[in-house]
Copies of this chain bind each other. A is one copy, B any other.
Amino acid sequence: MSRYIGQSLPRRDARLKATGEARFTADLSLPFMLHAAVLRSPYPHARIVRLDTSRAERLPGVKAVLTARDTSGVKWGVFRYTRDQEFLAREKVRYVGEEVAAVAAESEDIAREALELIEVEYEILPAVFDPLSAVADDAPRIHDHAERNINIHVPIHVGDVDRAFDECDYVHTERTVSEEESYFMTEPYAVLAHCDRQGTVEVWMPNASPHTKAKGLANALGLPVSKVHVRHVFVGGAFGGRSDMFPGEYIAARLSQMTQRPVKLVYTREENSIAVRQGHSMVVESTFGFKRDGTLHAVDVTAYMDGGAYSSTGPIATSVPFLCFEQTYRVPNVRYNGYRVYTNKPIRGMIRTHGRAWACNVDMQLDLAAAALGLDPVEIRRRNAVRTGDTTPTQSKIFKMDSLATIEAVAEASRFREKWGKLPKWRGIGIGCVSVMSGFPMGIRGGSAAMVKFDEDAGVTVISGVVDNGQGNENVVLQIAAEALGVAPDAIQLVASDTEVTPIDQGAYSQATTLCSGNAVRLACEDARRQIFEIASDMLEAAAEDLELEDGKVFVRGSPSRAVPLRNVIRMGLLKGKNVIGHGSFGPNVDQTREWIKNPKGQLAAAFSYGSAVVEVEVDPETGFVRVLNAWVAHDCGKAINPKEVEGQMEGGLAMGGHGGILLEACKWHQGANLNPDFLGYKVPLAPDMPPIHPFIVESEDPFGPFGAKEGGLSISMCTAQAYSNAIANAIGTHIREFPHTPDRVLEAIEKGAVTGDG
């Protein structure tokens, strides 16, 4: 009997964004604001022999010059034991683009002019640019503490893998390689910071979790968290790329501390490509063993990820690809070794698509096994799909997940079984599946809280740390509040994502928002309901448990005429000194150990969603150009709070993970310098590139999610990659092992395939 859950209500920010009124960080200004610019390393690996800022300091209009000498030396890393990055290089630079100094000046022009007056003498060191070279014994050492440049090693061993392979009827090894992806948010990274005379620092910046940013920044600045107020601001996309701490926010805040004036720093397009993050490039070698009936019995995977110069969110990126796999396909025997390796390249972080080389390797293995064992690709996935009640190798219980329904939805809608093997030449169809976890903590704070208060006229204000990076998260919590309170969403105000006033929130990553922020808001509203019913109980002479709240009225269940307007109840509460304020707190029931990396075992997340995609393509054998004819995507989101938003996430996921990830996106390098930092050189899919997309929402009613909801579509950004890759393989008769599958690689594969007959 949902009234507001399941409604595709228009987004609150739609009008502001469509009219250009929404103000992003770079649009903001404060009185007496200074402008900052950053001096970056021109070398991939070098010792700083001399750093002289005196000429820059003397330039009229320059108010402060910041180097590592002016910092506390605190290092950043998501875990205590991965803290390896100072926000300004101290003795060495480790990649082209690393922050060496920064200037705050009366104008951006002056700041940039001052950068040229800073004298730096470098002693150039040998550098290394790919993970396999970096782990070689004679490779240059990038960090003193990291032998063979290994930053993180995630080892997972379950069962007896060697014996299991012996028990298999089909064993096959595949090696795949991917290049880096960039996030390419249309909003440039920018920070506005203001330190007042009492030492409180206000910060505006695109982010995925204001509370995480505040905590990291407070630590770096040596302040209590409550002295750092990360403010609400419109955010132009995140895709995992706004979760980490960046030197930019520290630099702006520190310069503001030094000058006691507001400081704004806006990155150029080029800086956005090197000084924020990219996705990890990878080399993945997998051996998969199947039983005759198509059952996956054992896997042995080694992945080398190019981490760039610092650890960043690397621990997460090193394990998540494997974790997504083990939630997707059942496998009793596992050996996984994930290595994140330091190289002299920019820093890599979490991205919406957790490694195309990995995910596509898995689904390639399934397709090859299906062919070898006489099954079709749909059937082998049906036989292996993880489902409700399963426990993963690392001991996560899957409480509810309707994997088969998503597979069936896309298989049927696409008529996959009919088309399989019967498509005309150069046409192909492919399928991919993936499961993602909702709200896993892994060292980053777990759980969210929310408050709800009422005006005297019963207007509702929800106070939540929820952050909206473009997904529509604000609508999600508003619809949840509306449902829980029986009040129209239009009558609800939202105070969101301001660390001064909103309680702690897990943030918009690890698919936590709907589950954690949503549940916190639901619980806060239910708490308020209880208080409302207590007050109304006297007014209506009925037991509180017999009361209902709908359409702004409290009434006795079954006797709707025995009613009192909510506004009167709120007012009566005020007169009685019972101001209704609800409070909700939700932490997913997971094993929140900091040692997860070292001993990866336990409940990883409270909820797991599942997505499946089928894609049909046509390949031009002359040019290698791939045309996508149709795409069918299905996602088990538990419950669609706002179906249009879920569909939007599915469509955006396909664009980024499938279309961009498989056909277009790759960062190009020369000696650690990025060659394609702009929109001309780095190709992202545009609207006219998009195929017709047919989205299917599967609702499994999650037992822990708010009103049954878990997560709104991330799986599609991953499984479409596999579907794209497999469809191309089906069209050209051979799999491509390098990602992305750009036309040159497609042509090359066609040529090679004609020779080897692979696929």
Contact = CB atoms under 8 A, between A and B. Distances in A.
Interface of A: 12, 15-16, 19, 21, 29, 31, 196-198, 211, 214-215, 218, 224-227, 445-449, 451, 453, 455-457, 459-461, 463, 491, 493, 495, 499-501, 503-504, 520, 573-579, 581, 583, 585-589, 592
Nearest to A218: B457
A485 to B, nearest CB: 13
Nearest to A447: B577
Nearest to A578: B585
A457 B31 CA distance: 32
Contact of A495 (B215, B491, B501, B583): B501
A453 B493 contact: no
Contact of A493 (B461, B500, B592): B500
A576 B587 CA distance: 6
A264 to B, nearest CB: 14
Nearest to A573: B585
Interface centre among A15, A504, A574, A577 (most CB of B within 10 A): A577
16 contacts: A211-B456, A218-B457, A226-B460, A226-B491, A227-B493, A447-B579, A453-B503, A453-B504, A455-B499, A461-B500, A495-B500, A503-B581, A573-B585, A577-B589, A581-B583, A583-B583
Contacts of A453: 449, 451, 503-504
Given A218-B457, A226-B457, A447-B574, 17 more contacts: A12-B198, A214-B455, A215-B457, A224-B457, A224-B459, A224-B491, A225-B457, A448-B579, A449-B453, A451-B581, A461-B500, A463-B501, A495-B500, A503-B579, A504-B579, A577-B586, A579-B585
A747 B446 CA distance: 78
Given A225-B459, A226-B460, A574-B504, A197 B587 contact: no
A198 B16 contact: yes
B226 A455 contact: yes
Copies of this polypeptide in the complex: 2
Interface centre among A16, A455, A460 (most CB of B within 10 A): A455
Contacts of A16: 197-198
A195 to B, nearest CB: 13
Contacts of A585: 573, 577-579, 581
Nearest to A493: B226
Contacts of A588: 577
Contacts of A463: 501
A491 to B, nearest CB: 7
A754 to B, nearest CB: 58
Contacts of A493: 226-227, 500
Contacts of A495: 500-501
Given A224-B459, A501-B501, A574 B445 contact: yes
A445 B456 contact: yes
Contact of A451 (B197, B211, B448, B451): B451
Contacts of A198: 12, 15-16
A192 to B, nearest CB: 14
A504 B455 contact: yes
Contacts of A504: 453, 455-456, 574, 579
Interface centre among A456, A460, A578, A589 (most CB of B within 10 A): A456
B579 A197 contact: no
B451 A226 contact: no
Contacts of A225: 455-457, 459
Contacts of A211: 456
Contact of A226 (B218, B224, B459): B459
A449 B587 contact: no
A21 B491 CA distance: 38
**Nearest 9 CB-CB pairings of A with B:** A577-B587, A226-B459, A449-B579, A225-B455, A579-B585, A501-B501, A581-B583, A224-B459, A226-B493
Contacts of A196: 21
Interface centre among A226, A445, A493, A575 (most CB of B within 10 A): A226
A87 B467 CA distance: 40
A694 B504 CA distance: 48
A757 B280 CA distance: 101
Contacts of A29: 31
A464 to B, nearest CB: 12
A215 B461 CA distance: 15
A587 B581 contact: no
A757 B577 CA distance: 56
A197 B445 contact: no
Contacts of A501: 461, 463, 495, 501
Contacts of A449: 453, 579, 581
A161 to B, nearest CB: 33
Nearest to A585: B579
A127 to B, nearest CB: 38
A588 B575 CA distance: 9
A586 B581 CA distance: 12
A592 B499 CA distance: 37
Nearest to A455: B225
A705 to B, nearest CB: 14
Contacts of A451: 451, 453, 581, 583
A218 B458 CA distance: 13
Contacts of A21: 196-197
A449 B196 CA distance: 28
Interface centre among A453, A460, A578, A586 (most CB of B within 10 A): A453
Contacts of A459: 224-227
Contacts of A574: 445-447, 504, 587
A536 B618 CA distance: 63
B197 A15 contact: yes
A455 B449 CA distance: 12
Nearest to A448: B579
Nearest to A16: B197
A153 to B, nearest CB: 26
Contacts of A215: 455-457
Contacts of A575: 446-447, 587, 592
A657 B448 CA distance: 51
A521 to B, nearest CB: 13
A456 B209 CA distance: 14
Contacts of A12: 198
A445 B15 CA distance: 36
A12 B200 CA distance: 13
Contacts of A455: 214-215, 224-226, 499, 504
